[in-house]
Chains A and B, each alone.
Chain A
Amino acid sequence: AQSVTQLGSHVSVSEGALVLLRCNYSSSVPPYLFWYVQYPNQGLQLLLKYTTGATLVKGINGFEAEFKKSETSFHLTKPSAHMSDAAEYFCAVSAGGYQKVTFGIGTKLQVIP
């Protein structure tokens, strides 16, 4: 079985401040991990993914995430928030093979001018 926990359903940051969105996962096998972003009235779009190899993964729009096996975490960060980053962010995990993807409940990011 696999699961995802996103800590904080709402996060507020000031424009220019560090963005940190937390994601912890549970998986009985080495996981595939994803972060998606959802803007209003749109579907989810892939920000970045970890499959194998380098544990620090860079994505679009300046976001990155680090896979930490010992902490079962895959937190999403961005050094400096922009107003355009305001959206909902979803962490997701897959155990591979014929396993489906499990999504977290999402974190809404508010960016304060």
Chain B
Amino acid sequence: DADVTQTPRNRITKTGKRIMLECSQTKGHDRMYWYRQDPGLGLRLIYYSFDVKDINKGEISDGYSVSRQAQAKFSLSLESAIPNQTALYFCATQDGLSNQPQHFGDGTRLSIL
């Protein structure tokens, strides 16, 4: 089983719909992250959480919200999806030290029509 699992892997939906992307991990890491990847723009940070009671905005948090339900679960919501939120979304975890690497899920490909 994967250490970092994202569901769904693919999703097509319509403008205005509410969408939730889920991430669960078995690594026991405190830190979790949500990124989006767009061609030519690399990875951009949406939200991050250093523990269950800690939620922080990243560089592109507008239009998104998150919930850290447990140490192992971190979900990303799009309250009212718009076409420019079409992207590849990644969840990542990290041990509680910044000199440690991040561990990524396989991503969710989201298309908003």
Contacts and interface: CB of A to CB of B under 8 A. Distances in A.
B41 A100 contact: no
Given A44-B90, A105-B41, A49 B101 contact: yes
Size bracket of the A interface: 20 to 34
Contact of A104 (B42, B101, B102): B42
A26 to B, nearest CB: 16
Nearest to B44: A103
Nearest to A99: B98
A44 B104 contact: yes
Contacts of B33: 100
Contacts of B43: 44, 90, 103, 106
Interface of B: 4, 33, 35, 40-43, 45, 48, 50, 58, 90, 92, 94, 98-99, 101-107
Query: 8 closest pairs, A vs B, by CB?
Result: A43-B104, A105-B42, A46-B101, A51-B99, A103-B43, A96-B98, A32-B99, A44-B104
12 contacts: A9-B40, A32-B98, A41-B106, A42-B106, A43-B90, A43-B105, A43-B107, A46-B101, A51-B99, A101-B98, A105-B40, A105-B41
